[in-house]
Amino acid sequence: MNFLMTITYKDSWYALPQEKRSEIVGQVVAYHEKYLKEGKLKDTYSFAGGILMSVWNVDSLEEFVLIQSEHPYSVLVNYESAPFLDHQEVVTLMGKLRNR
């Protein structure tokens, strides 16, 4: 299952001292490296205005929820996640629907 996770910072993130934010960013890098090596995290993107996005490929929704709960930012950000299909999955699904 593929998921797109979108993160925006809460005001509490900006209220932290720079030293603490740097420490947490280091934890986030380690978190990302762990899941990149496992093949669960496919890519991450940062946008102006404090918006972060990541693409995940996991075996189940339950696994994804557990992974999200480990995120070092979890209490300092708002995040939304949505499942999605890649192009080939859509083509395959459309073919199955067409052949019904």
pLDDT in tens, 6-51: 999 999 999 999 999 999 999 999 999 999 999 999 999 999 988 9
Strand intervals (E) in 1-100: 2-9, 41-47, 51-57, 77-84
The pLDDT score that the predictor gives to residue 33 is 97
What is the reported pLDDT for 11? 94
For the stretch 72-95, pLDDT in tens is 988 899 989 998 888 888 888 888
3-class state of residue 93 by DSSP: helix
CATH topology of domain 2-98: Alpha-Beta Plaits (3.30.70)
Domain boundaries, the chain: 2-98
Determine the pLDDT at residue 2. Answer: 93
Using CB atoms within 10 Å of the CB of residue 13, give its burial: 0 to 12 exposed, 13 to 18 middle, 19+ buried.
middle
According to the model, what pLDDT value does residue 57 have?
A: 95
